[in-house]
Structure 1
Amino acid sequence: MMRLVRYCMGAAMFASACTPALKLTPSDAPTVLAHQVLEAADPGLPGPYEVLQLYYGSGTDKNRVEYRDSVAITTEPVDASKLVSLGGAADSRNEYWGFTPTEMPLNARVWYPKGDGPFPLVLVVHGNHSMRDFSDPGYDYLGELLASRGYILASVDENFINGARGENDARGWFLLKHLGEFEHFNEEEGNPFEGKVDMSNVALIGHSRGGEAVANAAAFNKLTHYPDDASLTFDFDFDIKGIVSIAPVDGQYLPTGRGVVVEDMSYLTFHGSHDGDVTSFHGLRIYDRLRFNDSADFRFKAAVYVYRANHGQWNSVWGSGDIGPRSARTLDLRGLIPQVDQRRFAEIYVSSFMEVVLKGRLEYLPIFRDHRVIGQWLPSTMYITRFETNAFRPLATFEEDIDVTRGTEDGVSLRGVSLSTWREATLMLRSSNRPTTSASQENQAVTLGWNNRIAGADTTRHRPAASYSVELGGRLAARWALGRQHSLEFMLGPTDSTPRARRDASQPAATSAQNDDGSGRGGAGRARGRDDLEMPAVDLSIQLEDAAGRTSSVVLSEYGAIRRPLETHVMRRSDQECQRCTAPWELILQTYSIPLSDFVEQNAALDLRQLSVIRFLFDRVHAGEVVVDQIGISELEPGFLSARVER
């Protein structure tokens, strides 16, 4: 809270000043991205196929010459009037486009490989933008790449509903109608796609509002009726294997007042820290709601936070102007990574996802477990990543109740020793522009703070290290048949707070003129934040203990970077930043995946079948604070571990 007060006070002081000095967290990319251990071919490079292109659509488009004069396949319009409301702008919009919501077109540009096929099908859809600055050409780089690698990619035109409100359900519905067209193309004699479309392997990609739309489409695909008006019936049921949300919104469509839940498919989402349009990583909420109901059918979900990426550079038409042509007047664009780098990241991750989900190329799985395995492929910036598979079995997710000592799995208990901070709470997003849908991650986690130093002038005096334990109880390890093939997984991220030193219980309590840390009047209850001092790196040990008291520990930093929140300033003026965002950073937790075999290598006597305690041991630095979530065990698909960065 004090950090936020200082942040906003500083903004007020400099409200009328020129653009402040550029503030970025120093990059650790030269160290973190120093490895290249994945031996598979670079998925971001073109494949062996010659790429062809065509357009399909109404053939009568008033504003789009490609959808009027260049269509190779003519499609019939659809009635979207129950999903699209144009409000007071209806007359002018209908005049501009030459049609109403009762007869909206199914237009798309398609990149496809030359060959007999059948080829997996990928649809991509843009988000909201000026309806006159057409967005669908902006994914040409993905179309060219994926078609060369043996996919059919169609970039769907939904420009005619851009600028509308409450239309994200329609965006998803349109994608399903396009899938229906491809089903017809595949069966129609003489059609350019006759027999070439693998309708059993389908994926959807969406950007911005389109990123929420693909989740809506995935949900609608399994429904029989439109949730907002059951007089509209659905009959889709396509074989959608995965969806990708690029810098998505979330919560703009809330059927029955609830967020859409995606079930039983793989998911990838990524977001830039310097997004000037969708200022928070809303894809994390879609990620958290996604459910895997069948533990036997392999699926996974992954999320990546890309430092210094923005919103528009994922689309080659939009570019750096996240809030329109005059963005440079309001947004501080100096810290952005180059557009070619941002697109390079998208090419690697989208292509890898499609290779795994649509082609079963499991050699690309390590990318999603630990991005460090492809450090030499990735653009030089910082990444925070998370993943989870359908095999994840939770021990503590912090969602069940208000008892901080009880875990998720029956019999699991939680215990803290010598912690300065121990509390469970909802994680927040930095965006404050829409409190009802933008301010919360809608996810609970535990915050743990420690300071092992004893207050006083002698800074060498320390008590035993603080710890936080997950106690399995009973015969859980035996019931789960834990062994070397399993991994311990959790999400963790440091905050920029540090609890003060512990008071020496043998000494009298501090007077009003003397604080517990020995400082004079006015000292804070927490150590100074990054505005005052360069804070030391956070690290800790992860320790396992079996029923016989045998222990084994590893150092967490050997499994991935542990970073405090990354400094993020999007607006040119600090006062505008403070009005728009609650903090100059977003707390994004990193997934750490530690094979249980690593603990056995440290102590061969450790009996995993009698594992009794998983302990977060705060013994590497004397003080710090971290947020932890999703503690559990997975038996990973072996492909995830086929490439690892050495400890």
Structure 2
Amino acid sequence: MNLEYIELSKGKRIGSWLRRRLSDTYGLDTTLWRTVTLTMWLLTCAAVGVAALGMPTGFGTLFDVVTGVALNTIAMALSSAVLAAALAISGARIPRFTTGGFVYMGVVVYFILYFSEFGWKGAIVFSAIFALFAVGLGMLVGLLARLRGNRRKLSLLAVFAIALIVIYAAAGFPRLLPSLSGSVYDADADVSDKGEVSSLASKLADPAVPGAYGYTTFTYGSGEDKHRSEFGAQTGELSSPVDATAYLQNWSWLRERFWDFDEKRLPLNGRVWMPDGAGPFPLVLMVHGNHLMEKFSDEGYGYLGELLASRGMIAVSVDENFLNYSVWSGIPKRDMELRAWLLLKHVQQIQSFNQLPGSAFYERVDFDKVALLGHSRGGQAAAMAADRSLWFPEDSALPEASSYAIKAVIALAPTDTVVDGKSTKLRDVSYLTLQGAKDADLVNFYGDRQYGRVSFSPNSEAFKSSLYIEDANHSQFNTEWGSSDNALPTGLFIRPEHLLKPEQQRQVAKAYVSAFLETVMHDKEEYDRFFRDYRLGLGFLPATRYFNQYEGGGFRQIADFAGANRTVPTSGVTAEASEMTGWQHKDALNRQGNGKGDQGVELEWKDRGSYTINLTPEAVSDIRQDDILMFSLANMVRDMEDDEEFEEAGELEAWERMADSDMRIDVELEDRSGRTSRMPLSRFMATEPQVETRFTWLPGMESVLSKGKFEDAEEPVYQTYELPLKDFAEENPEFDPSEWSRITFHFIEGPGRVMLDDLGLMPN
């Protein structure tokens, strides 16, 4: 009995003690600290609201933001109260509710930044800065609120003005800062002084100008789309859903709830731009890449669809939004194969329409001329669909391989992920890829890897071309993806400077896509030189720097620099070097130092040097007087920045001079009689400085964001050079091109580094 009394008494004392402690939980949260708490709540709501914009639910932006702010308010109130109670029990003599709000704010902002690819270190630093800023701002507002009369009003207005300026600076002011990647390039100044190039550039018609065809637009779809009436009740033609269970078994319930279908009934939805007339017309299927699932992407290529239809091609923008990423349901496994498979199912569906009297497609499609255009993951999917025997060798559900012919693949800023240990290798398919140097989504030129794996049979009519655009990014190829490559809040920090305007970037896409398909589908030879020399398009391309590669089926390779033996660039051909500090065969590397799967010869020199390739009679046995010497060269001077030899001030100054200027290179040809002809490479095309891109506006952020993928500011990119042999014969009439036996590259000043690849001959 006494023991029970003691326990009860002890419990009463503890309860009484707790009540005393908790009775004054908020006693130290004075008016000043309440103002701080209010400021923290407002800024936390702003942070959560911004994060909500990057995590759409599909119910609309207003719903997402309001819901995020409401949940944040409830969570902050509860968390602050619980922490305040704990602090009161501990006896801490600090403003407890405010402290609880401070801790909550730091944790919430930390997780927002951490899941926005900041990494834990960057998230800690920036969440701490954000929380301390909120406290400081709140204290300042609270102190000024104690003033009287007009001084109080003016002071508060000044504080809120300062706060707005700080927020604006974080959100948009970086675009007004001086460029971190150099000034805007004057493309007009790059036109060669050679009259031939200038005259051709002035005569080349702008392929981005609409053609002579009128056209109609309509859609085909399931007729049951939950979100878009154009694929639902208002669709122009009904398509049949497809069963993708052979490639997909992890369709989540959230994804099914959003779309109202599962992997057994994937819809075939397409937006069509159809030329007027009987046809038959070439078919161009366009497919988007991975974007937020709830923000539909297929409308984003209407500018290309309209242009291509006006030029006599049926353009279809394929809907694969249901395969895209969602914050809430992730992304389906094996999505790359699915994207390619669905493209082929669209071909099959259009074949059915083409045989159906009454269909808008009826007998109007030329299935011997099919092109696939893809953006981002869609660019890889387009290449995979063109190489169907590698990915779907036994899939009888696909259209007969002989019932259509894919003549062309276009990849806009494509991915190039290895899938099941395999990578696509196209053969005798014309290929075009475009990439922006300021692509903050895919920072590496993965289209360059695809380009390297495209090959041709001797004298094939197919060709491949690539274009690297200094001031282009990833998203602006699609009108629905906005101007930033990164969702909020990461997009506030990743801000490359001097981006092309959206319409300018799409002007580049229109010009190249249109010219490419006119060449492949309509056999218009006038655009062939445009892919070999971008300068021919400077009359209609926006002002920025461009780097292009080209190779056609008529290219006869002399040296590909494969293999470890640097003295043997290719079997039967030898090489030697003089005064070189570095000379090796190696993979071209991207920003992360990973190989692109294509070897070249890397040459490095301090002051000057030379590199010579000795040719056997067999290597140039079929040489013609009008042949063009062709090779790819990448300026890599900026990659030397961290080399030890530049630690001394004099060497660093020399490197800086070389990094910011055109490279001086002479090319010398020699015949078997020892007669030579030597010309500066700049006579044909300048070897321009390497592109440098700074992706963030805060110093040091490149190494923090996205596990350091933005840390390297440059990627070596090849430029194809064409040197007509007849020009060397004109320079020295005694030189006989038919007896050509040696080529020497003379590097006039240094320090310097280049990579050389794909040296050969091309018919004029």
TM-score (norm 2): 0.71
| Residue in structure 2 matching 1:181, options 309, 330, 349 | 349
The 8 Å contact of residues 85 and 167 in structure 1, kept in 2 or not, is answered as no
Are residues 1:627 and 2:755 paired? yes
Are residues 1:336 and 2:336 paired? no
Map of 1:324 onto structure 2: 487
Are residues 1:44 and 2:208 paired? yes
1:85 is displaced (CA, Å) by 4.3
The 8 Å contact of residues 557 and 758 in structure 2, kept in 1 or not, is answered as yes
**What CA distance in whole angstroms lies between the structure 1 residues aligned with 2:496 and 2:612?**
44
| Residue in structure 1 matching 2:225, options 27, 46, 61 | 61
Map of 1:160 onto structure 2: 322
The 8 Å contact of residues 219 and 237 in structure 2, kept in 1 or not, is answered as yes
Deviates more, 1:533-542 or 1:56-65: 533-542
Map of 1:523 onto structure 2: 648
Deviates more, 1:113-122 or 1:233-242: 233-242
Are residues 1:493 and 2:634 paired? yes
| Residue in structure 2 matching 1:573, options 698, 702, 706 | 698
| Residue in structure 2 matching 1:236, options 398, 401, 413 | 401
Pairs within 5 Å for 1:433-444 = 439-444=594-599
Map of 1:135 onto structure 2: 297
CA displacement 1:583-604 (0-9 Å, x = unmatched): 1111111110111111111122
Map of 2:589 onto structure 1: 428
Are residues 1:104 and 2:266 paired? yes
The 8 Å contact of residues 450 and 624 in structure 1, kept in 2 or not, is answered as yes
Name the SS for the 1:543 alignment partner: strand
1:607 is displaced (CA, Å) by 1.9
The 8 Å contact of residues 347 and 399 in structure 2, kept in 1 or not, is answered as no
| Residue in structure 1 matching 2:580, options 419, 423, 427 | 419
The 8 Å contact of residues 124 and 205 in structure 1, kept in 2 or not, is answered as yes
Name the SS for the 2:498 alignment partner: coil
Map of 1:449 onto structure 2: 604
Deviates more, 1:324-333 or 1:157-166: 324-333
The 8 Å contact of residues 655 and 751 in structure 2, kept in 1 or not, is answered as no
Are residues 1:269 and 2:436 paired? no
User: Per the alignment, do residues 85 and 631 of structure 1 end up closer, same or farther by CA in structure 2, a change over 3 Å counting?
Assistant: farther
1:200 is displaced (CA, Å) by 1.2
Q: How large is the Cα RMSD of the aligned pairs?
A: 2.7
**What CA distance in whole angstroms lies between the structure 2 residues aligned with 1:127 and 1:44?**
23
Pairs within 5 Å for 1:387-406 = 387-399=550-562, 401-406=563-568
The 8 Å contact of residues 247 and 278 in structure 1, kept in 2 or not, is answered as yes
Map of 1:435 onto structure 2: none
Name the SS for the 2:236 alignment partner: strand
Pairs within 5 Å for 1:157-306 = 157-163=319-325, 164=331, 165-220=333-388, 222=389, 226=392, 235-237=400-402, 238-251=404-417, 253-255=418-420, 257-292=421-456, 294-306=457-469
Map of 2:738 onto structure 1: 609
| Residue in structure 2 matching 1:24, options 166, 181, 186 | 181
**What CA distance in whole angstroms lies between the structure 2 residues aligned with 1:58 and 1:376?**
44
1:572 is displaced (CA, Å) by 3.2
Letter of the aligned partner of 1:301 in structure 2?
A: K
User: Per the alignment, do residues 536 and 44 of structure 1 end up closer, same or farther by CA in structure 2, a change over 3 Å counting?
Assistant: closer
Pairs within 5 Å for 1:351-390 = 351-390=514-553
Letter of the aligned partner of 1:494 in structure 2?
A: N
User: Per the alignment, do residues 284 and 497 of structure 1 end up closer, same or farther by CA in structure 2, a change over 3 Å counting?
Assistant: closer
TM-score (norm 1): 0.84
Are residues 1:121 and 2:249 paired? no
Pairs within 5 Å for 1:543-558 = 543-558=668-683
User: Per the alignment, do residues 600 and 571 of structure 1 end up closer, same or farther by CA in structure 2, a change over 3 Å counting?
Assistant: same
The 8 Å contact of residues 489 and 633 in structure 1, kept in 2 or not, is answered as yes
**What CA distance in whole angstroms lies between the structure 2 residues aligned with 1:291 and 1:357?**
16
**What CA distance in whole angstroms lies between the structure 2 residues aligned with 1:240 and 1:108?**
19
Map of 2:619 onto structure 1: 476
The 8 Å contact of residues 449 and 499 in structure 1, kept in 2 or not, is answered as no
**What CA distance in whole angstroms lies between the structure 2 residues aligned with 1:440 and 1:415?**
25
1:152 is displaced (CA, Å) by 0.6
1:199 is displaced (CA, Å) by 1.2
Map of 2:512 onto structure 1: 349
Deviates more, 1:388-397 or 1:278-287: 388-397
User: Per the alignment, do residues 36 and 335 of structure 1 end up closer, same or farther by CA in structure 2, a change over 3 Å counting?
Assistant: farther
Map of 1:596 onto structure 2: 725
Name the SS for the 1:147 alignment partner: helix
| Residue in structure 2 matching 1:148, options 284, 299, 310 | 310
**What CA distance in whole angstroms lies between the structure 1 residues aligned with 2:645 and 2:261?**
72
**What CA distance in whole angstroms lies between the structure 1 residues aligned with 2:652 and 2:504?**
38
Map of 1:641 onto structure 2: none
CA displacement 1:495-541 (0-9 Å, x = unmatched): 226999xxxxxxxxxxxxxx999xxxx63895447669874431211
1:24 is displaced (CA, Å) by 1.9
User: Per the alignment, do residues 471 and 524 of structure 1 end up closer, same or farther by CA in structure 2, a change over 3 Å counting?
Assistant: farther
Letter of the aligned partner of 1:22 in structure 2?
A: S
Higher relative contact order (CA 8 A, sep 6+): 1
Map of 1:640 onto structure 2: none
**What CA distance in whole angstroms lies between the structure 2 residues aligned with 1:524 and 1:382?**
30
1:473 is displaced (CA, Å) by 2.1
1:423 is displaced (CA, Å) by 1.9
**What CA distance in whole angstroms lies between the structure 1 residues aligned with 2:419 and 2:577?**
38
| Residue in structure 1 matching 2:244, options 58, 80, 97 | 80
1:431 is displaced (CA, Å) by 4.3
The 8 Å contact of residues 428 and 462 in structure 2, kept in 1 or not, is answered as yes
**What CA distance in whole angstroms lies between the structure 2 residues aligned with 1:286 and 1:74?**
35
CA displacement 1:313-365 (0-9 Å, x = unmatched): 00000021212254541211542110010000000000000000001001111
CA displacement 1:256-276 (0-9 Å, x = unmatched): x12111111000001111111
Map of 1:314 onto structure 2: 477
User: Per the alignment, do residues 576 and 97 of structure 1 end up closer, same or farther by CA in structure 2, a change over 3 Å counting?
Assistant: same
The 8 Å contact of residues 496 and 694 in structure 2, kept in 1 or not, is answered as no
Letter of the aligned partner of 2:752 in structure 1?
A: G
The 8 Å contact of residues 492 and 589 in structure 1, kept in 2 or not, is answered as yes
The 8 Å contact of residues 185 and 193 in structure 1, kept in 2 or not, is answered as yes
1:554 is displaced (CA, Å) by 2.1
1:33 is displaced (CA, Å) by 4.6
CA displacement 1:6-28 (0-9 Å, x = unmatched): xxxxx99xx97986853123424
Which structure dedicates a bigger proportion of its chain to helix? 2
Letter of the aligned partner of 1:143 in structure 2?
A: G
**What CA distance in whole angstroms lies between the structure 1 residues aligned with 2:218 and 2:227?**
18
**What CA distance in whole angstroms lies between the structure 1 residues aligned with 2:367 and 2:415?**
28
Letter of the aligned partner of 2:585 in structure 1?
A: E
Map of 1:8 onto structure 2: none
**What CA distance in whole angstroms lies between the structure 1 residues aligned with 2:262 and 2:653?**
59
The 8 Å contact of residues 36 and 376 in structure 1, kept in 2 or not, is answered as no
The 8 Å contact of residues 409 and 432 in structure 2, kept in 1 or not, is answered as yes
Letter of the aligned partner of 1:473 in structure 2?
A: T
Name the SS for the 1:103 alignment partner: coil
Name the SS for the 2:213 alignment partner: coil
Map of 2:19 onto structure 1: none
Name the SS for the 2:286 alignment partner: strand
**Percent of aligned pairs with the same amino acid:** 35
How many residue pairs get aligned? The number is 575
Q: Which one has the largest radius of gyration?
A: 2
Q: Which runs of 5+ in 2 are unaligned?
A: 1-120, 130-169, 193-197, 326-330
Name the SS for the 1:175 alignment partner: helix
